[in-house]
Copies of this chain bind each other. A is one copy, B any other.
């Protein structure tokens, strides 16, 4: 069976439960969004998936094989994260070659093309790059390594709007050219919403959403109008939050609406993914 199977994964740090018996499946050639508040456990989960951190219990299978200490399986996966694992004194092009040796393969043509798109100098020394360009170099490597599973932890943190735009476009182009599985963890939810085929929302160590983006958004509504009418119509619906603007109220609803006709004074709009996320996870961040 191709894909990644995660079953009952538990992880504690200092007696605090970070992942609380989490389970899901990642299918081949799909783009996943892993969303969650700061401190929700996203990075821990990604590190467990590539065996950099060991879970306390649970099972992870990659293409049917158990993950733990399995070099053959690990070579199918790549995690791009904030941690800098690269030799500080080396030039960008040397780091590309070093990655090629490590993985036995590397799409050097793709890497050179992306460096050109992002305007990254291949002769620049890693330690002399700006924070933004260090991230860009890591993104280029993540898009050019010959792996089936690519995990991106906050791939666009600190990038300016132009570089984020290039990244989103090149990710899609690279995926179309050679489909593989991506898991993208990001706080810039609305920008990534168009890329993500499947949404996972992690909240206090559990997955509270694990579904196709389209299905999730099909159930996400904003009901607005005069307060009394909005509250009357919303009764019995799954209200996850609300906002006020002068005498207008908006209720955010996640779930099915009534079958009865919509009253005249009420507007029903679709909710975007970021607004849905904010309302679903309002009480969530751990005050570390």
Contacts and interface: CB of A to CB of B under 8 A. Distances in A.
A39 to B, nearest CB: 7
A278 B121 contact: no
A36 B287 CA distance: 32
A91 interface: no
Contacts of A187: 158-161, 164
A288 interface: yes
Contacts of A4: none
A124 interface: yes
A2 to B, nearest CB: 30
A248 interface: no
A113 B162 CA distance: 36
A3 B274 CA distance: 37
B162 A37 contact: yes
A262 interface: no
A165 interface: yes
A132 B163 contact: no
B119 A285 contact: yes
Interface in A221-242: none
B287 A162 contact: no
| Size bracket of the A interface | 35 or more
A130 interface: yes
User: What is the total number of copies of this protein in its complex?
Assistant: 2
Contacts of A190: 190-191
Contacts of A288: 128-130, 133
A278 B161 contact: yes
A98 interface: no
A130 B286 CA distance: 10
Given A38-B132, A130-B38, A132-B38, A285 B163 contact: yes
Given A119-B287, A165-B278, A285-B119, A38 B129 contact: no
Contact of A161 (B130, B162, B189): B189
A277 B161 contact: yes
Interface in A128-147: 128-130, 132-133
Given A121-B287, A287-B119, A287-B120, A282 B129 contact: no
A278 B169 CA distance: 13
Given A157-B158, A158-B157, A188-B188, A133 B287 contact: yes
